[in-house]
């Protein structure tokens, strides 16, 4: 059993007398009311409350409020994010959704210490391990939350730990912020190069259909399963085409009797998402390696370039910001959360037309740039990974008593 310093103990939230109160669904009250209503997305991955993209409710929508000094626990989310916890510093009382639980502590527990400890548990995957899994989400019931054990130092030492962590983590936060800003800059730089090399230039513009032998669409088979395992057929989700590279793991398993090899995805395929949000509809990927037993879905299209049209060149053209903007403009649909592009509209999309030699020249020019961008991204990702490891190590040391060892000796 792990040994803690003298005076430290382990107790459950229930034993510590923590009061837990789930929130309420905004439902029909959501809109332009005067009371801020927090949702899981308003707790950031680093455990702070952000008020971007908030809903507002009317004052009579519910009398539950969270105030400064409370702890807000995210009880329902995806498995990756369930358990996010924040210490509330907002100046005005606000509402909170039924996917959140308000925690209020007694005299032997510092609220900010508790928020930091619970968020540390989330980062280490603890709440993933105890959550109840449902379709596309996980939850930690109030009863189960009250059984969670907390390492409890004396109250003055809890506050000392919080002060040390605040001072130290501020520097890690600043470093991570700078690295994420660099990621945004690289994305912007990549977009500029794509536009300059493959976007609408002085080249003649032609309908995309003039460069294609055909477009193939997949079909829906109504699966709600998890990803296909070895030897199983899978149908790709929209997320397989969303992030600029093909993600074969983003799929749903289907019974083999429903698998039509006509829609099988092959190495070298150019895929386009025909349905997504306004910003992501028309996202395209090129399949670099042959995936195992994956099929097109009804929300994916396979473009078949004519002879003399490089598949990779056409893919880069579709990635150019001007082409992406045109795709968003021609998408139809009444909801921003799901826009659609018809095959007819896609064929009519105007794109540059250049000779095969010029296509190869453009790809050669971009290859060196892309290689450099990949190297820089990998370096930034490595730095962010090291920062996250440092953060976890620091928190682990704090809750073992190592950060305040000298403090105890002095007192």
Domain ranges of the chain: 9-152, 155-203+354-411, 206-349
Q: Helix or strand or coil: residue 255?
A: coil
**Averaged pLDDT score across all residues of the chain:** 89
Q: Which of 59-68, 154-163, 205-214, 270-279 has the lowest mean pLDDT?
A: 59-68
In this model, does residue 57 exceed pLDDT 90?
A: no
In this model, does residue 95 exceed pLDDT 50?
A: yes
| Fold match, 9-152 / 206-349 | yes
Q: Which of 28-32, 154-158, 222-226, 360-364 has the lowest mean pLDDT?
A: 28-32
Q: How far apart are CA 114 and CA 150, in angstroms?
A: 8
Report the pLDDT value the prediction gives residue 28, as an integer from 0 to 100.
Answer: 47
User: In the predicted model, what is the mean pLDDT of residues 129-143?
Assistant: 88
Q: Which of 102-106, 219-223, 279-283 has the lowest mean pLDDT?
A: 219-223
For domain 206-349, which CATH number applies: 3.40.50.970, 3.40.190.10, 3.50.50.60, 3.90.220.20?
A: 3.90.220.20
Q: How far apart are CA 153 and CA 5, in angstroms?
A: 8
Sign of CA dihedral 326, 327, 332, 335: negative
List, for residues 307-356, the tens digit of each pLDDT value: 999 999 999 999 999 999 999 888 888 666 678 899 999 999 999 999 99
The DSSP output letter for 199 is: S
For domain 155-203+354-411, which CATH number applies: 3.40.1440, 2.40.10, 1.10.1740, 1.10.287?
A: 1.10.287
Report the pLDDT value the prediction gives residue 163, as an integer from 0 to 100.
Answer: 94
Report the pLDDT value the prediction gives residue 59, as an integer from 0 to 100.
Answer: 66
Share of the chain above pLDDT 90, in %: 64
- 385-389, long-range: CB within 8 Å, 24+ apart, which pairs? 387/172, 387/175, 387/176, 387/179
User: In the predicted model, what is the mean pLDDT of residues 168-184?
Assistant: 94
- Rounded to an integer, what is the distance from CA 361 to the centroid of its chain? 36
Model confidence band, residue 60 (pLDDT cutoffs 50, 70, 90): low
- The dotted CATH code for 9-152 is 3.90.220.20
Task: Enter the pTM of the model.
Answer: 0.76
Residue 396 CB contacts under 8 Å (≥ 6 apart), including other chains:
120
In this model, does residue 32 exceed pLDDT 70?
A: no
User: In the predicted model, what is the mean pLDDT of residues 26-42?
Assistant: 73
Q: Which of 217-231, 244-258, 389-403 has the lowest mean pLDDT?
A: 217-231
Strand partners, 336: none
In this model, does residue 411 exceed pLDDT 60?
A: no
């Amino acid at each position: 059993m792990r040994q803690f310093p003298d005076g430290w103990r382990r107790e459950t939230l229930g034993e510590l007398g923590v009061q837990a109160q789930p929130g309420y669904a905004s439902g029909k009250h959501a809109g332009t009311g005067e009371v801020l209503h927090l949702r899981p997305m308003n707790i950031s991955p680093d455990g702070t409350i952000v008020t971007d993209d908030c809903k507002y409710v009317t004052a009579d929508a519910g009398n539950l409020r969270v105030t400064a000094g409370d702890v807000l626990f995210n009880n329902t989310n995806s498995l990756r994010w369930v358990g996010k916890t924040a210490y509330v510093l907002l100046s005005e009382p606000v509402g909170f959704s039924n996917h959140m639980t308000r925690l209020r502590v007694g005299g032997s527990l510092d609220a900010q210490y508790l928020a930091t400890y619970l968020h540390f548990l989330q980062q280490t995957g603890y709440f993933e391990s105890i959550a109840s899994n449902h379709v596309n989400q996980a939850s930690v019931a109030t009863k189960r939350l009250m059984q969670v054990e907390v390492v409890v130092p004396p109250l003055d030492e809890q506050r000392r730990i919080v002060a040390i962590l605040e001072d130290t983590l501020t520097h890690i936060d600043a470093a991570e912020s700078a690295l994420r800003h660099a990621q945004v800059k690289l994305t912007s730089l990549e977009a500029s190069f794509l536009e300059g090399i493959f976007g609408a230039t002085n080249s003649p513009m032609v309908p995309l259909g003039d460069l294609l032998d055909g477009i193939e669409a997949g079909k829906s088979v109504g699966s709600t399963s998890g990803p296909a395992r070895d030897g199983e057929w899978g149908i790709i989700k929209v997320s397989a085409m969303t992030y600029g590279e093909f993600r074969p793991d983003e799929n749903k398993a289907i019974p083999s009797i429903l698998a039509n090899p006509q829609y099988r995805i092959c190495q070298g395929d150019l895929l386009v998402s025909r349905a997504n949000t306004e910003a992501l509809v028309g996202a395209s990927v090129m399949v670099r390696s042959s995936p195992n037993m994956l099929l097109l879905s009804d929300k994916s299209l396979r473009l078949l370039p004519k002879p003399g049209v490089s598949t990779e060149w056409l893919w880069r053209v579709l990635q150019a910001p001007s082409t992406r903007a045109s795709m968003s403009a021609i998408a139809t649909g009444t909801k921003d959360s799901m826009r659609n592009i018809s095959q007819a509209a896609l064929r009519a999309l105007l794109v540059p037309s250049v000779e095969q030699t010029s296509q190869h020249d453009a790809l050669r020019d971009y290859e060196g740039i892309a290689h450099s961008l990949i190297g820089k991204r990998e370096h930034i990702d490595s730095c962010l990974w090291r920062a996250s490891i440092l953060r976890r190590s620091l928190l682990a040391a704090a809750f073992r008593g190592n950060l305040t060892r000298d403090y105890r000796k002095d007192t």
